[in-house]
Amino acid sequence: GQYLRMTGDTAWLTTPLNGEPLLSRLHRALDYVWQHRRDPASGLLTGTHTIDWGDVELGECTQDAIYAGPGSLWTADLYDQAMLALAARPLADLHDAAGDAQAAQTWRQRADLTAAQTLAQLWQPERGYFRMHRHLNALTHPFDEDALFPMAGNAVAIQAGIADPGMAERIFAVARQRQTEYAVSTLSGVLLPPYPDNVYCHPAVNKAWHYQNGGQWGWFGTRLI
């Protein structure tokens, strides 16, 4: 989407890759996610129980923590919904540029539906930010997981247009307040407060303030700014 806006190069969309046009491949890739990675009950995308945008799964101690498997604990998480909406709208623009108004309308409708379901199920009006995820199984924690502020997912939800300007202002205020409360040196702390020690098993995140568990990630702080 960015490339097309910068160049106006619509011929690029028909570039053949192993006999199939580029745009067709982009469409099929995101359509696979829509068709096969959504929870029928909630309508939201599914992902394993990770930290905000992260790749390390709860309950797995080895490098297999970055792969879904038979023992995975599934959630519907904010970051995935935001990324889908962020991808669907530019894909609609690409279809418009290629003259396929019907496909463009389909992807805008899917982006709108994702945004509406995300607002309905993940926004916390009493706290002023989106919760990290909803569990899709019976897993519970002995603490209030929804009190953990997932900055990265919230930043991308703003970028994706899921949060309206009023919601965005509330998210910004929470980010500044948590930075001060937890004495983090920048706005880039991705989970404030972090999970307590040993909630996760993998050594990259089993301690607070390590890696995705409360660490600072400049590329998400920059998106927030």
User: What is the reported pLDDT for 104?
Assistant: 98
Q: What is the Cα–Cα distance from 211 to 77, expressed in whole angstroms?
A: 19
User: What is the reported pLDDT for 43?
Assistant: 93
Q: Which two tokens stand for residue 117?
A: 């379901």
User: What is the reported pLDDT for 97?
Assistant: 96
User: What is the reported pLDDT for 170?
Assistant: 98
Query: 142: Cβ–Cβ under 8 A, 6 or more apart, which residues?
Result: none
pLDDT band at 9 (very low <50, low <70, confident <90, very high): very high
User: What is the reported pLDDT for 110?
Assistant: 97
Per DSSP bridges, beta strands 191-192 and 149-150 are: antiparallel
Q: What is the mean pLDDT of residues 110-125?
A: 97
For residue 192, give the nearest of 225, 220, 167 by alpha carbon.
Answer: 220
Task: Report the predicted TM-score, pTM, of the whole model to 2 decimal places.
Answer: 0.94
For residue 50, give the nearest of 29, 69, 72 by alpha carbon.
Answer: 72
User: What is the reported pLDDT for 165?
Assistant: 97
pLDDT band at 78 (very low <50, low <70, confident <90, very high): very high
Tens digits of residue pLDDT in 182-205: 999 999 999 999 999 999 999 999
Tens digits of residue pLDDT in 15-61: 999 999 999 999 999 999 999 999 999 999 999 999 999 999 999 99
Distances (CA, A) of 7 to 3, 22, 27, 65, 136: 6, 16, 20, 40, 43
Helices (H) and strands (E) in the chain, counts: 7, 9
Are the C-beta atoms of 216 and 185 separated by less than 8 Å? yes
For residue 158, give the nearest of 72, 83, 69 by alpha carbon.
Answer: 83
User: What is the reported pLDDT for 19?
Assistant: 94
Q: What is the Cα–Cα distance from 172 to 156, expressed in whole angstroms?
A: 12
User: What is the reported pLDDT for 201?
Assistant: 96
Task: Tell me what percent of the residues of the chain surpass a pLDDT of 70.
Answer: 100
User: What is the reported pLDDT for 34?
Assistant: 97
User: What is the reported pLDDT for 55?
Assistant: 94
Q: Would you call 38 helix, strand, or coil by DSSP?
A: strand
| Structure-token match 């969309």, residue found | 13
Q: If you average pLDDT over every residue of the chain, what do you get?
A: 96
Q: What is the mean pLDDT of residues 155-173?
A: 97
Q: What is the mean pLDDT of residues 117-140?
A: 97
Q: What is the mean pLDDT of residues 102-126?
A: 98
pLDDT band at 116 (very low <50, low <70, confident <90, very high): very high
Task: Tell me what percent of the residues of the chain surpass a pLDDT of 90.
Answer: 100
Q: What is the Cα–Cα distance from 87 to 137, expressed in whole angstroms?
A: 28
Q: What is the mean pLDDT of residues 89-95?
A: 97
